[in-house]
Amino acid sequence: MKELRGPQVGQGRSARRKDPEELGLGRALKLYGRAFILRCPHCGRGRVVQSWFRMHPRCSACGIRTERGEEDFFLGSMMFNIILSEGLFVAFVIGLIVIRWPAVPWDFLETWAILLMVAAPFLVFPWTKTLWLASDILIRPVTEEELRWYEENQDRTIRPFEER
Ligand SMILES: [Zn+2]
C-alpha cells in the first residue's frame, strides 16, 4: 500500500488553492472538451498527442507531464477505451438498423460490425488517453507546486507527488 503524506510543513500553499479547481460540471465540461479536441485538458493550449498511439511526455504549453508522475498512469485509460469502442459499435449497429429499416442489410451489418469491433479500440485510442488525463486532473487538480515541480525537474520521471 502506498504511503500517504499530508501537506508539508512550511509549504502551506495548498491551503490557499483557488476556487476554479473545484469538482463542478462546468470545469468537467471544460476539461473533457479540451480532451475531445486532443488538447491538454489542463491549459487547453498545448498539444499532448504526439502520434496516434503515443502521447507527448509533457504538454507543449503548460509543461505538465501527461503521465502525471506514475509509470502505470494510463492503465485507467483502458476504461475509456472500452466505453468509446462499445459506444462506437452500438451507434453503428443501431444507426444502420434505424436508417435502413425495414430493409436492413444483415449480411453487410454482420461483417462490418465484427470489423468495427476489432478496429474500434484503435480508432478511439488518442481520446482514451486525453479523457483519462482530463479525469485525473478533474479529481486531482494541477497545483502550483506541481507545475513548479515540472519546471524544476524537466528530466525526471519519478513520481512528483508521493516523494514530496
Ligand atoms: Zn497544458
Distance 44 CA to ligand 1 centre (A): 6
Radius of gyration for the alpha carbons in the chain, expressed in angstroms and rounded: 20
Whole-number Å distance between alpha carbons of 21 and 81? 26
Cell representation of residue 62? 503548460
- Ligand 1 centroid to Cα of residue 119, in Å, is 30
**Predicted confidence (pLDDT) at residue 122 exceeds the cutoff of 70:** yes
Backbone angles phi, psi at 2, to 5 degrees: -70, 140
pLDDT of residue 21: 65
- Confidence (pLDDT) at 9: 36
Least reliable range by pLDDT among 2-6, 12-16, 57-61, 148-152: 2-6
In this prediction, residue 123 has a pLDDT band, given cuts at 50, 70 and 90, of very high
Instruction: State the pLDDT at residue 39.
Output: 96
Distance in Å, CA 129 to ligand 1 centroid: 14
Cα-to-centroid distance, 104 and ligand 1 (Å): 46
92 has a pLDDT exceeding 70:
yes
What's the gap in Å between 116 CA and the centre of ligand 1? Answer: 32
pTM passes above 0.85: no
CA dihedral 78, 148, 31, 80 (to 10 degrees): 0
The three-class DSSP label of residue 51 is strand
What are the backbone dihedrals phi and psi of residue 66, each rounded to the nearest 5 degrees, phi first? -70, -20
Q: What is the whole-number distance in angstroms between the Cα of residue 163 and the centre of ligand 1? A: 23
